[in-house]
């Protein structure tokens, strides 16, 4: 639906929409440890996602170094909803996840993510979760190195909210 510059917007006009919720374009790196480490963590305020709404999450970055494997995960609450293949070498990575409520405490998730060992190979996974979205939920990207001398860098994370009524 297009708005002209003389239109006024009321809440009912905004019921079915996609809007930006969070944008993090800061380079965030993990190096020097083999522990799983937060690259980005965002709190999704309780009630921000309607019972039939959802989130679109896009995260991307790079892995560098040849000493060990590197793994990137996306968590929604305590549930890992995307988990890249552990790879060695230097490559780009990305995760795109659609998280849709089927109720305020039940989700269906589609994640598409890179296989950094092969730029033309992409992984897809569907899963379910049981996260209460009436309460605050943490959305986080983590990185885990097989060798502390390597590096995982997250260069962007965008989170958009989809409201469907």
What stretches of the chain adopt beta strand conformation (E)?
A: 17-24, 28-31, 37-44, 54-64, 70-76, 79-83, 91-103, 106-114, 122-129, 137-145, 151-163
**Per-residue pLDDT tens digits for 46-86:** 998 889 899 999 999 998 887 778 889 999 999 999 988 77
**Per-residue pLDDT tens digits for 87-112:** 777 888 899 999 999 998 999 999 99
Confirm if 152 and 25 have CB atoms less than 8 A apart: no
Q: What is the CATH T-level fold of the domain 16-163, as seen in this structure?
A: Jelly Rolls (2.60.120)
Confirm if 127 and 102 have CB atoms less than 8 A apart: no
Query: pTM of the entire structure?
Result: 0.84
The alpha-carbon radius of gyration of the chain (Å, integer) is 17
């Amino acid at each position: 639906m297009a708005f002209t510059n003389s239109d006024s917007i009321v809440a009912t006009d905004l019921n079915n929409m996609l809007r930006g919720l969070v944008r993090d374009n800061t380079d965030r790196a993990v190096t020097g440890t083999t522990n799983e480490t937060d690259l980005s963590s965002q709190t999704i305020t309780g009630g921000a996602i309607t019972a039939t709404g959802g989130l679109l999450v896009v995260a991307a970055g790079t892995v560098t170094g040849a000493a060990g494997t590197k793994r990137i995960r996306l968590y929604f609450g305590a549930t890992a909803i995307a988990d890249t293949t552990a790879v060695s070498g230097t490559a780009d990575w990305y995760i795109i996840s659609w998280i849709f409520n089927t109720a305020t405490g039940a989700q269906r998730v589609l994640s598409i993510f890179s296989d950094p060992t092969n730029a033309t190979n992409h992984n897809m996974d569907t899963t379910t979760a049981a996260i209460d979205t009436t309460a605050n939920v943490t959305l986080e990207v983590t990185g885990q190195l097989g060798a502390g001398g390597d590096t995982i860098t997250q260069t962007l994370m965008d989170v958009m909210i989809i409201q469907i009524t």
